[in-house]
Amino acid sequence: MAMSDEVRSAPRYKPKEKKKKKTFAEAFIPMKGDPPGEIVSKIIALLAIVALIVCGIVLGVYFYHIYEAKQNNLHIDSRYKEINQQQSAEADPVQTTVTEVDENGEIIRQPLVNLPFADEMLAINPDYVGYVSIPDRVNEAVVQAADNDYYLKKNIYGQTRSCGTVFADYRDNVSDYADLQSDNIILYGHNQRDGTMFGELDYYKWDDKYWLKNPFIYFDNKYEHSVYVIISSFVVNTEPEHDNGYVFDYQNYINFNDQYPFDTFIKEITERSHFFTGIDANENDKYITLSTCSYEWEPARHVIIGRKLRDGETTDNIDLSGFEVNPNPKWPAIYYKYNGGSYQG
């Protein structure tokens, strides 16, 4: 069939030519001949890409360090439990005050012997001084340096890590004969959001009666196992302007003396505590303090204090029946400013 003139004369369809895709270099790297506006756009896009990559790397390193810290903690805690299960009670060195004296009036002391776990940890880090635990909440090796800054960002292996390591105040005498140890061993640890370090001490704030579930702190120095019953948990300011010019400097009550008397210490930690335990405490007892950041305001500290079990006391026979929630704990003035109320002392 012959094609009509009309069909013959109709213009033929020409498909559009596909636009050639730009390479990464052409799209983002300024080239010779690019107009000024396009050069600026490319530079901004390049900076955004670099920033995105850097943020990705930083986040990746951060989450890896969290994972690494947890794995380190699990490994050390596993070794701690394994070694202590193998160790018999007879292996514990004698730590009590020695009353024997020689002909010159010098005290005769039996030599101190490291606990087996301490030997293993000292091979990893010579700054190791102990291990602190609260069942299901805290399981941490403790170190001590020449200042209170070094282990803020160093892990037990000496690597630079933001989570740091739980450390004892540099002024404390932690591992020694019992009568020569400091009156109050002060341990610092970060309040990690993932629950490691001292990140789960908040349970003593969130749950008014949590003390009844976990009233004890277990602490081993290099030479002996010790147990402390918690007698106080409170939040305190570190800046004078947050409490009408006053700071309860709990961290300086290392040895009770005229400057830092026991009477002031016990009064402050009792009035401020979220609960009353009914556990008696006196100047002749030994204490442990766990200190971490708190987030009611910045900066604040959450402090938990335990009294060492006395001779004859055990976790089974100590009287815990005197517990009651403190209806009006003493907070710094900044707390009442934002939450209302006042302290009725």
> Which class for 340: exposed (0-12), middle (13-18), buried (19 or more C-beta within 10 A)?
exposed
Helix axes 36-86, 116-124, angle to 10 degrees: 150
Q: How far apart are CA 258 and CA 20, in angstroms?
A: 85
Query: CATH 2.40.260.10: which residues of the chain?
Result: 106-339
pTM: 0.83
Q: How far apart are CA 170 and CA 197, in angstroms?
A: 19
CATH superfamily of 106-339: Sortase (2.40.260.10)
Per-residue pLDDT of the chain (345 residues; tens, 9 = 90+): 455 555 555 556 555 655 667 676 667 777 777 788 877 887 888 788 888 888 888 788 777 777 787 888 889 999 999 998 876 544 455 555 555 777 787 888 888 999 999 999 999 999 999 999 999 999 999 999 999 999 999 999 999 998 999 999 999 999 999 989 999 999 999 998 888 889 999 999 999 899 999 999 999 999 999 999 999 999 999 999 999 999 999 999 999 999 999 999 999 999 999 999 999 999 999 999 999 999 999 999 999 999 999 999 999 999 999 999 999 999 999 999 999 999 987
Q: How far apart are CA 100 and CA 92, in angstroms?
A: 20
